[in-house]
Structure 1
Amino acid sequence: MSGYVPNKVYDRAEIHAAAKLAGLPPGNATAGITTVGADLCVFWNPFRGLYANRWIKEPDEFVYSGEGSTGPMTYTGGNWQLKECHEQARPVPVFYKVKRTGSHWLHLGEFTVMEVIAGISRDKEQNLRDDIRFRFLRITQELISQPMPERPQLTPPAPPTEAELWALIAARTDKTGGKRRRATKTSRDRRVSDPVLTAYVLQRAIDNGGACESCGVAPGWLDDFGRPHFQAHHIDPDIDLTDWIGAVCGTCHDRLHHGSDRREQATLLRATVRARQLEAGRAIFDQR
């Protein structure tokens, strides 16, 4: 357990200075993820808009973007250390900046890294890139009575275009030869998908009129960006390729997994997906 007191506001400069005075690693005073003394700490600055940090349930659960402001994020530095905390169930002290200026940080307590998630976002140069996100859950029991700061209302970034997503997919295909099986996430023993492929497939449905690729009906609600909400369905659970993934509504997704006619529906969906890929001039990488 760390020696920090939950619900207390700390001067961050003093945190680093105290570790140095004790002959321990003082950490990087400007980094969001850094080792201070014996602890790997997260310093979340909500006044920075570059990353995908967001609350799921304030102040107990949140998603935090990994390190790296330019280019794809990789499992190095703080990202690698947080991944280790996830695998070893090691707690992470979390500090939350409460004022835009100055060095006032509220200690929220210790959190566990529940999940490591692959995503896509734009870097500071506005280039589309792979990113890494960590889902945190608070394990400290003390209540947080300090007022949380008023955060600026940021304009959501524009979603990537189909052309941008396809460019990323094509670059990866050059490296893999067009063969990609879904990875298995060892800690949860479940298949995971390339988020770029998923984003492309969902955008494909939107660009083709915003209707489900299985039933042809538009979903009845919109997401935070004002777009029709779809789910990505892998027609073959092991194949992560654009001509084997459909963008479907929630009802069709359930039907494709549990319906008595799921095989027939999967065949029809596959035909629709292949036709759209061919019509758009997108190469079909897997001919099965």
Structure 2
Amino acid sequence: MLPNVDQDTVQQTAATAMEIPEFVIGRYYSRKKEITGRFGGSGRNGIAPSRRSPAIFLFTGTGEQHGYKDRLGFDYLDYVGEGQIDNMQMIKGNLAIASHADNGRALHVFQMTGKGKPCMYLGEFACHSHFSDQGVDRNGKMRSVIVFRLIPVSQTLRCELEDHDSLDGDDSTAQGKPEDLAALREAAVAACRPGGPNSDPKEGVRLAYVRSLRIKRYVRARAHGHCELCDAPAPFNRKSDGTPYLEPHHINRLSDGGLDHPKYVGAICPTCHRLIHFGENGQHRNDELRARIAAKEAPFAGGNGE
């Protein structure tokens, strides 16, 4: 059983919450003034984890002379990791991408248009797999490169909105019963951890849906039928299975869809969900939800990197 939420902790955490970046797809932004200059992060590297927000900024479109040849498809982006000489290693920026869901950090991707020129925002992506490829380093030597298969977060929005608890291809052996909160959390956290190399795009999408489903199952069970923001009972029960109707909300995103760790997803009523997105004090209520979820998840802190 999770502990009651301490209101003093909620208020203190909400007051110190980090700013969440918000960009518009297709719009151009100055890296120096509006991206890393505003939220922190390297002003030159292609992978720039923010120092002041739960985000990692990725820049694509340059650096082919160093072996960085990204491939943008219809519904995915194969993004080459960092490291200009010798084989790439799963460290620093590369590890930050692979672990972004586990750490609750959004991946914001920008298309470079030239040195010092504005960058076009391509959208928020999630890393679902990675694999090794061959390429040349800065000195023209063949080496092993890490390629991350990134998928737009909108790809998993369907699973977020679907009002059922089954998904083709979910072969988990630890689904847990609705009341088995520990098993549900274990399955959700395991789905967020970086997986092994996998170059199959279809498998990446399948794993994305599975991860999203497991998180949704857990946060609904954690809520015990009450909105995790306003504490009111769910407005109605689902006709499909009679369970309380609550909607998943990603605290570290201002848009819905995509993946996150259970520590950064709340189960809230439709009214609070729309208040966060469209209300004049939506950011404040989102920060309050962050604090409430942090208090609920605090007992699990420190165990296996969770």
Same fold, TM-score > 0.5, yes or no: no
**The structure with more helix, counted as a fraction of residues:** 2
Q: Which structure exhibits the higher relative contact order, with contacts defined as CA atoms closer than 8 Å and separated by 6 or more residues?
A: 2
Give TM class, smaller chain. 0.3 to 0.5
Query: How does the TM-score come out when normalised to structure 1?
Result: 0.43
Query: How does the TM-score come out when normalised to structure 2?
Result: 0.41
> Greater Rg, structure 1 or structure 2?
1
